Structure 1
Amino acid sequence: MTAPLYFTRAELRRDASMAAVRQLLNPTGDSARFSAGHQLVWTLFAGDPAQKRDFLWREAKPGLFYVLSRRRPEDPHGLFDLDEPKPFEPNLREGDRLAFSLRANATVARGEEHGRRGKPCDVVMDVLYRMPKTERAVSRSATIDKAGYEWLARRGEKDGFDISSEPKEGHRETSSGSSARVLSYRTLTLPRRGKPARIGVLDFEGKLQVTDPERFLRAIANGVGRAKAFGCGLMLIRRV
């Protein structure tokens, strides 16, 4: 039996007792805030030190987090205004149209050899680094849009959704909708053992069509892309 999922809205408290430490817990600057968010959200699931991460999270705005988890979050330190966790159990069928929002660390494997998977490379930088240096600045915006869209389209083929603008023939809905688009791209420097990691983060939004409900829901539960411990991979969906 599949473990239940819970969706929770958690916001850092704004009362006077938290004012002195809020800036420390939720600093300015993308890299510092993503790293701090990683530590903060872990406090909601820190009951068993041996437990592996079984949740996804995303910072919607400074201090406000959306969390999808296999356990109910708990706030033993009283850091959050924590909404009651809601069961996440969408009833989806093939052909359903959904609006979505996704923050993703999109990568492609490069340098495969001897049957081993290659090193993950950021999809945007992978394209830019193949260009002459003199062309990178002028091509950056178009490269972000194209590389991001193509990566998400490939993920859709694997994960049971389609981001093309026209619904597939024979599905219940026939009206067209806007396809996915890239809202932003940024690079972050995150701590890790040894050398800090530098990753790219793409924000997407748009509409998709469910092609395989089972695979799609599995992808939502497991997260889309890499760097899921640092606030990437949680796809938010709603019906349209």
Structure 2
Amino acid sequence: MFLTRFRVNTARPGARRLLSSPQAMHAGVMSSFPTLLPTDTPPSGGPRVLWRLDHTTRADVMLYIVSPDRPDLTHLVEQAGWPAAAAADPAQPGWQSRPYGPLLDRLATGERWAFRLTANPVHHARRKDDEPTKRTAHLTPVHQMGWLLKRQETCGFRVLEKADDKRLLPGGTTHTKQPHHGDRYELTVRDKRALAFDKSKSSGRQAPVSLVTVTFDGRLEITDPQALRRALTQGIGKAKAYGCGLLTLAPLGKTG
């Protein structure tokens, strides 16, 4: 496994095209693997290619990729990087890839990390009793946090709770029966995006796609290292092809 970081040159037209279309960015990421065909599907329960865009500022965007194989991002450097700088220093091709295995192998129960995850929090709901359920996006931060908290056990971690003296409300609640996740946990939700784009189909027609994504920043404690490894290499939730599901860890005090 490899963890790769690529800084996007947002001043370039090619970068703006990639950033405006999750479909185009997905194609660019998947083209980074010479042995991977566009029609290949990841093995069930196995590692897969995951990616995420971190928008630190409007002009500062980082692309992160976790993948079973080391990627070649030469084409992304040419489209959306600094190709002249990369050509001038062959030792700096325009991206950084590091083996991910050493970090995965040393994860241990009880360790605490900062984390970041961009995800597509959804649930199944129906408007009427006689209608089939439909996948629907969670739209409020409280429900989006609840979506992640429901998955923490199966993903091998628990989100840390705030100390009592850091909570604005007694017990972290707004009502005796309704927990307010934002005040109880070391967890924030930001960068909500409503995306709409066309997905090309094999028939040549365009299929409309719409989804809501958010970025979670927080702190966690590892409860099951093996389950967490699966989450780190297989992703969390839906829309993985469109920049969702990639969970990354950092020493406490940092993010990314």
Q: Would you say same fold, with TM above 0.5?
A: yes
Asked if the contact 1:105–1:225 (Cα under 8 Å) also holds between the matched residues in 2, the reply is yes
| Cα distance in 2 for residues equivalent to 1:161 and 1:201 | 21
**CA-to-aligned-CA distance 1:191-211 (integer Å, 9 cap, x gap):** 224431110101110101111
State the 1:100 CA deviation. Answer: 0.5
Q: Hey, what does 1:98 align to over in structure 2? A: 113
**Residue identity matched to 1:35:** Q
The alignment status of 1:206 with 2:218, answered yes or no, reads yes
- Identify the match of residue 120 of structure 1 among 115, 135, 143: 135
Corresponding residue for residue 193 of structure 2: 186
- Cα RMSD (Å) of the superposition? 2.8
**Runs of 5+ consecutive residues of structure 1 not aligned to the other structure:** 112-116, 125-143, 168-176
Q: Distance in 2 between matches of 1:63 and 1:95?
A: 32
The answer to whether 1:236 aligns with 2:248 is yes
Partner of 1:51 in structure 2? 40
TM-score by length of 2: 0.67
| CA distance in 2: counterparts of 1:100 and 1:66, whole angstroms | 14
Q: SS of the residue aligned with 2:153?
A: helix
CA contact (8 A) 2:112 2:221 kept: yes
Larger deviation, residues 211-220 vs 35-44: 35-44
Which residue matches 1:221? 233
**1:58 alignment partner AA:** R
Identity %: 27
| Number of aligned residues | 195
User: Structure 2, unaligned stretches of length 5 or more?
Assistant: 43-47, 82-93, 127-131, 164-183
- By how many angstroms is 1:13 displaced? 6.5
Q: Which 10-residue stretch deviates more, 79-88 or 179-188?
A: 79-88
Write out the 4+ residue segments of structure 1 that deviate beyond 4 Å after TM superposition: none
Task: Indicate conservation of the 8 Å contact 2:114/2:217, yes or no.
Answer: yes
TM-score, length-scaled by structure 1: 0.71
Secondary structure class of the residue paired with 1:233? coil
Measured after TM superposition, the shift of residue 36 of structure 1 is 2.8
Q: Is the 8 A contact 1:26 1:63 kept in 2?
A: no
Asked if structure 2 preserves the Cα contact closer than 8 Å seen for 1:99 and 1:239, the reply is yes
Q: Which amino acid aligns with 1:223?
A: G
SS in 1 for 2:250: strand
Which stretch shifts more, 226-235 or 157-166?
157-166
